[in-house]
Amino acid sequence: MRFSVVSFLGLLVCVGCDSQAPSTADSTKKLEAAAEVVTERPLDDPTATAAVEALTEKLRRDGDGAIIEIDFRGLEIADTDLQPLKKLPRLRSLLLADSNVTDEMMTTVGQIATLENLDLRECGISDKGVASLTSLAKLKALKLSGKNGKCSVSDDGMEPIGQLTNLKVLGLDFLWISEDGLAKIKGLKNLQELYMAKTTIGNEAIAVMSSFPSLKKLRIAQTQIDGDGTAAFVNLKQLEELDMSECAQLTDEAMQPLAELAKMKKLNLWRVNVTDAGIKPIGNLVALESLNLDNTRLSDEGMQFLSKLNQLTFLHLGSTQITDAGLVHLEGLSSLKDLKVTRTAVTQEGVDKLKEKLPNTEIQLKYIAGQ
């Protein structure tokens, strides 16, 4: 067989070529991977590290020894103590709760661009102070609280907080914040936890909360929410934890919308004026793991509504109207680890009988302050 010169050269070319030449995308990925290996993550400035260590030993570090969390809670600090923090390139969490920080010092805090968690509970911060935090684009958790009267953040302060669009956790307990302020943070679509105990919110606030599609944890204890407000709970389908303790306006009718919250795992109704009729809708929340009915008007008749809550691990029935007769409805709750029946008509005999059915459950009959 004879081959032409052209054919022979063509064969040589084909044999010498790769069957699959690397694509531009593949080459780019390899270069990027190589760059990642070569590039070193920035380390802490030694002078800044020494300055922080002189103030507190409460530090968390990563695998390289770089500071990622600083705990200044309860300390007397100055703005000059905060300045070195800007030279800690991996700092993610700053705990300043119950310290003496001021609005002016928030200017420095607002320049720590790496922050993801900031705890300012019980600090003397006002709307002016939170306005200095808008550049913290990576911030995921911001905790404020006015329980000790020092923090005075109000509805006006919600506007700058609304610019922190990566927030997942927001604590506003004990502050003068209403639904008007809440409306200013409707853009926080990533919000998963919202704490507003003893704020001035009313029923309209619950409807505003439907703007937070990922909301999982909500605390509205000691507020004026009533049945008109809880009706909007049907729009909060992702809720897993709800604290409505000491909400004086809540009645049995206000409990009905809770039956729609199928993902609910933790519910706190301490000191809520509900009777057996109000407990009935709660029986539909079969995913519940923790239920606090302490100081409600639950009686033996309402205990039947708890019998299907077989995921419960914690149940507080203290200061209710139940007796030994009602305990029979708990016999099938094999997941129950902690049961409190303090300050009720339940007797030791009733406890012992239930123990036979639930040997792994710790049952507290005697009241102990703080438990």
Amino acid 47 reads: T
Among 56, 128, 65, smallest CA distance to 94 is for 56
- Name residues whose C-beta falls within 8 Å of residue 342's C-beta, 6 or more positions apart in sequence: 318, 319, 364, 365, 366, 367, 368, 371
Q: Which two tokens stand for residue 32?
A: 């990027």
* Residue 326, both tokens: 């009602």
Residues 282 and 267: their CA atoms lie apart, in Å, by: 9
CATH of the domain at 59: 3.80.10.10
pLDDT score recorded for residue 26: 59
Range of the domain at 161: 41-201
pLDDT at 368: 86
**Within a domain: 344:** no
Task: Flag whether 186 is in a domain.
Answer: yes
Q: Is residue 175, in this structure, part of any structural domain at all?
A: yes
**Total number of domains in the chain:** 1
Asked whether the beta carbons of 306 and 339 are under 8 A apart, the reply is: no
Residue 16 lies in a domain: no
Within a domain: residue 170? yes
Phi, psi of 267 (to 5 degrees): -135, 125
Q: Measured between alpha carbons, how far is residue 264 from residues 33, 137, 154, 209 in Å?
A: 43, 31, 30, 16
Note the pLDDT of residue 370. 72
181 in any annotated domain: yes
CA angle 219, 222, 226 (to 5 degrees): 90
In a domain, 194, yes or no: yes
Q: How many residues does the chain have?
A: 371
Distance CA 367, CA 277 (A): 27
Provide φ and ψ at 219, rounded to 5°: -120, 115
Output the pTM of the full model.
0.88
> Would you say residue 105 lies in a domain?
yes
Positive or negative: CA dihedral 256, 258, 262, 266: negative
Q: What are the pLDDT digits (tens) for 88-111?
A: 999 999 999 999 999 999 999 999
Q: Give the model's pLDDT for residue 136.
A: 99
List of long-range contacts for 135-140, beta carbons under 8 Å, 24+ apart:
135/110, 135/111, 136/110, 136/112, 136/164, 137/113, 137/164, 137/166, 138/113, 138/114, 138/166, 139/115, 139/164, 139/166, 139/167, 140/116, 140/166, 140/167, 140/168, 140/169
Q: Give the DSSP letter of residue 55.
A: T
In the predicted model, residues of the chain with pLDDT beneath 50 are 1-22, 34-35, 37-38
